[in-house]
Amino acid sequence: MLHKTWRRVAIATAGLLALTVTTACSDDPGESTDLAENRVGAMANYGVGDQFKATEALSFSTLYNNHTFYPLKEDWLFWSELTKRTNVKIEPVAVPLSDYEQKRSLLIGAGDAPLIIPKTYHPQEDAFVSSGAILPVSDYLDLMPNLKDKIAKWNLKPEIDNLRQADGKFYLLPGLHEKPTQDYTVLVRTDIMQELNLPTPKTWDDLYAVLKAMKAKYPNIYPYSDLFSKPNPTGALLNLLGSAHGTYAGWDYQHATWDPAAKKYTYTGSSEQYKQMVTFLHKLVAEGLLDPESFTQTDDQARQKLANGKSFVVTGNAQTLVNNHRPDLAKTLPNAKMAKIPLPVGPAGEINPFPRLENGIMISTKARESKNFVAMMQFIDWLWYSDAGLEFARWGIEGTTFTKDASGKRSLVPGVDFLGLHPTAPKHLQKDFGFQNGVFAYGGSPDLVRGFFSPEELEFQKVMDARKPREVPPPRPFTDEEREQVSLWETPLKDFVTQNTLKFALGQRPLTEWDAYVAELKAKNSEQYIDVVNKAYERFQKKNG
């Protein structure tokens, strides 16, 4: 059975461990290593590949992102087996997926945050650094041998350096991927392509030609009607288009883009690459190839259009394809077929834009004062970074949820489904067992991450693996004063870029007004913003070479 405090999981403001809130550790290396009073429950000799098991029963409060597809259950095998292996019970403080970021900020601001705070995407941690609410986790890497080993073995130093703040430390423990595994791409009705004798598009211009052919055959539909209009209009599509044009947009919008030729940062929303992307998007809408309702409609509305043959193309990934679109089509258009196509190539060339660092974990500063602090860091290291912990979080228990053959290849047991591998199975890996949970399962080697992939998906990844990883931009960490200043600019700038991207795309603002738009961005401090970014970049380079 779970810990008696489990009943608090539905209340985001649940009472947590009574620990004193302290400020972040200083730069004195002695402070981060003076942990003699904080080793209760820790293993004396814990190293790479060791099974962590606390020397006494422990529990750690953890912020829990409660996913609607697999709502939290008390009787998941994940919980009991985790305690069996580690002698640790997690006390989840559950908040809904839709409110996660807001509730996380409220809890941290009130001093009520759990000790472990997962599902944090860089640079979200920046907002909590200056207050001292979260730990500079880089001070404690010696307690995390598996994390250190993978950073070194997978050559992740450039990515890790991008997490560093002006003090040279980083405050987020990221999920680590050995190789980028791009998932989001364009999903296409392949039966329509076959009907029209169209080849699989390789580039965005090829996709444009495919959409034109679909429109010519079916003039009363918009071939591309997209999902994901919240929180950013067509956030997924703009994300893909942005990376293809060498910039950032949609879900991935960042204010600064590195220019390797000029060796400086430029403001993203006014760059030539962003203009090219917006121009292409405008062309799709103007020619009736992209549904203008893509920017405002709900996901359910977009799904219904696809299911009813009112569109043929959406943005998505393996899960939306298998869990949503194929079942929808099977009910309404049983002869329809849909597939992921390799991410179309744009002006930036054949790149794989998926980063090797994933969302990560913040640690509440009050954890540092706990007598169990060292044990907690060892536990985190085992669950999120050891080979055994990564396998457990993703696959579950050998012989119960998966098997291994003589070569070590994993397979789900026939009675368990995930990603449609066993669609008629009575149990689901996430819903019924709690494994492959986005709070605990991210990162890993390709064989671990892709072990669930169908042959179709593995072919997609084979194409993407042949492409170059996207270049990691150089670090440019802000000081506290700089962060305070740019935080006043960022939201108005991003809102203005988003609004005008939409206006340009829909033809509500002509592209001939691009220069005027850039001038308006400057009036909202875009140039001052980039000046601060480049100053921070130059300072980091001078200090770190």
pLDDT at 33: 55
pLDDT of residue 14: 36
User: Are residues 176 and 443 in contact, defined by beta-carbon separation less than 8 angstroms?
Assistant: yes
* Residue 333 burial (C-beta neighbours within 10 Å; 0-12, 13-18, 19+): middle
Quick: pLDDT tens for 344-355: 999 999 999 999
- In whole angstroms, what is the distance from residue 32 CA to residue 382 CA? 20
- Band of pLDDT at residue 290, cut at 50, 70 and 90: very high
| Pairing assessment for the beta strands 313-316 and 185-189 based on DSSP bridges | antiparallel
Residue 543 in this model has a pLDDT that exceeds 60: yes
User: Which residue, among 129, 116, 160, has the nearest Cα to 381 in the 3D structure?
Assistant: 116
Q: Which amino acid appears at position 227 of this protein?
A: L
- For 16-20, 454-458, 501-505, which range has the lowest pLDDT when averaged over its residues? 16-20
pTM of the predicted structure, to 2 decimals: 0.82
Indicate whether 292 pLDDT > 50: yes
* 468 beta partners: 351
Average pLDDT over residues 450-479: 93
pLDDT at residue 251, rounded to an integer: 87
**31 pLDDT more than 80:** no
| Tokens found for residue 196 | 């029209």
Structure tokens belonging to residue 536: 């921070």
What is the C-alpha separation between 112 and 212, in angstroms, rounded?
A: 55
* Structure tokens that stand for 169 in this block: 């430390």
User: In this predicted structure, what is the pLDDT of residue 228?
Assistant: 87
| Residue-level pLDDT at 75 | 97
Residue 8 has pLDDT above 60, yes or no: no
Average pLDDT over residues 326-348: 97
pLDDT by residue (tens digit) across 489-517? 999 999 999 999 999 999 999 999 999 99
Element (H, E) at 463: helix 455-465
User: What is the average per-residue pLDDT within 50-54?
Assistant: 98
Contacts of residue 330, defined as CB under 8 A and 6 or more positions apart, other chains included, come to none
Higher pLDDT, 358 or 229: 358
At 89-132, the pLDDT tens digits run 999 999 998 889 999 999 999 999 999 999 998 888 988 998 99
pLDDT of 170 above 60: yes
- Name the residue among 353, 324, 308 with its Cα closest to residue 183: 353
Q: For position 7, what pLDDT does the model report?
A: 32
When pLDDT is cut at 50, 70 and 90, the band that residue 537 belongs to is: very high
Average pLDDT over residues 224-253: 90
First to last CA, the chain: 53
In whole angstroms, give the CA distance from residue 537 to residue 259.
12
Q: What is the predicted pLDDT for the residue at 545?
A: 65
pLDDT at 232: 74
- pLDDT value, residue 362: 98
Average pLDDT, the chain: 92
| Mean pLDDT to the nearest integer, 513-537 | 98
* Predicted pLDDT of residue 29: 40
- Alpha helices by DSSP H, 46-134: 77-86, 100-109
H helices, E strands: number in the chain: 19, 16
| Element containing residue 544 per DSSP (H, E) | helix 526-544
pLDDT score at 323: 86
Which structure tokens are listed for 34? 């003076």
